[in-house]
Homo-oligomer: A and B are copies of this chain.
Amino acid sequence: MALIVQKFGGSSVKDRNRIFNVARIVANTHKAGNDVVVVVSAQGDTTDDLIAKAAEITHNPSAREMDMLLAAGEEISIALLAMALNELGCHATSLTGWQAGFRTDRAYTKARITRMETERISSELERNRVVVVAGFQGLNKLDDITTLGRGGSDTSAVAIAAALHADRCQIYTDVEGVYTADPRKVRNTRKLEEITFDEMLELASLGAQVLNNRSVELAKKYNVELEVLSSLNPVPGTVVKEVTKDMEGMLIKGVAKDTDVAVITILNVPDEPGTSFKIFGLLAQKNINVDIILQSTGRDGKKDISFTCAEGEAETAMRVLKESGKFKDATCDETCAKVSIVGAGMQSHSGVASKMFEALSNNNINIRMISTSEIKISCIIARDDADKAVSAIHDMLFD
């Protein structure tokens, strides 16, 4: 008998039929002899509807009240799912975030989990109940309701799995697993059987959008084996774990793109110690996350520095640089994208990078910046070329 945590997103419980679909998956898992904790998000558009209600009242809602409002969404979905499970003869108890023991810090709308008090969940499991837990929400030290922010329900599921030492945490989505590229945009993509936490983190931050990064980080930290799978199609999904089987010819796990990229270039900065610190210190003060940094070779005591950041932060970055007085010669290009290939151990295979560059070259796509790590290679290119680039690289590596 195993302990399995299953997480279902809002679209999986959006109406009566979908709720019963989820209930059947859960009931079958329970019937097979497993203890089951289910984490659910708010139904379909509920969260958006609640946000719209708040927007009618004020453009600047208190974060505390926003969390109170949004937490109602999951209370509805957990009660309905518990009723559906009971209707199928599978005894279930719903628990809000605070009842399930999620204790968080005080950062309303983006709280972090500080502690799990698992007594209530454990006692319900001991009574042979399926426990249906409201994802996305917790309780802070003031006894106020908090929400965990984007991807919060995934994080809730992983946190429960970690605290209860669950055998597996299954994240049900509307795709069947993690693919070598976005199947809606690239032909001949393959579903991965397994992927490491690190690879998944790179793919997530590169825009693959299957799993929220925060939940993967948590899973890696507590070594919680994740499975990404479909709630509509009952086939095995992709397992995310610490070490994966060495699969022949499967060095590369995926090709991803991120179109939310701006490149800022500062020309003619002094080629002397401390320049980079000054620039990136200024940006850090404004909480601007810099991704790739490229620095030209110095000449005549001057050099050029380029870096990328999210498009939404580019304007602030430019203002900070201009106001500093020292880095006025800055330009910003907001028409960029990043394409990346991810795979553990690929750095020891020199052919991989050259294949990526060959694919881009064959399609006449110019590479503006290159960044490499142990498990990925990223290229900054023009945004208009992004989809073509992903397909070309995927064809070159996987066909």
Which A residues contact B (CB, under 8 angstroms)? 16, 19-20, 50, 53-54, 56-58, 60-62, 64-66, 68-69, 71-73, 75-76, 78-80, 82-84, 86-87, 93-94, 96, 99, 120, 143-145
Contact = CB atoms under 8 A, between A and B. Distances in A.
Protomer copies: 2
A12 to B, nearest CB: 15
20 contacts: A16-B57, A20-B57, A50-B76, A53-B80, A54-B79, A58-B84, A58-B86, A60-B87, A61-B83, A64-B93, A68-B82, A68-B96, A69-B75, A69-B76, A72-B72, A72-B75, A72-B76, A75-B75, A96-B145, A120-B143
A154 to B, nearest CB: 22
A72 B77 CA distance: 10
Contacts of A145: 96
Contacts of A71: 75
B79 A66 contact: yes
A339 to B, nearest CB: 43
B143 A57 contact: no
A51 to B, nearest CB: 11
B99 A83 contact: no
A80 B54 contact: yes
Given A53-B76, A72-B72, A76-B50, A87 B58 contact: yes
Contact of A62 (B56, B64, B82, B96): B82
A58 B19 CA distance: 12
Contact of A65 (B60, B69, B86): B86
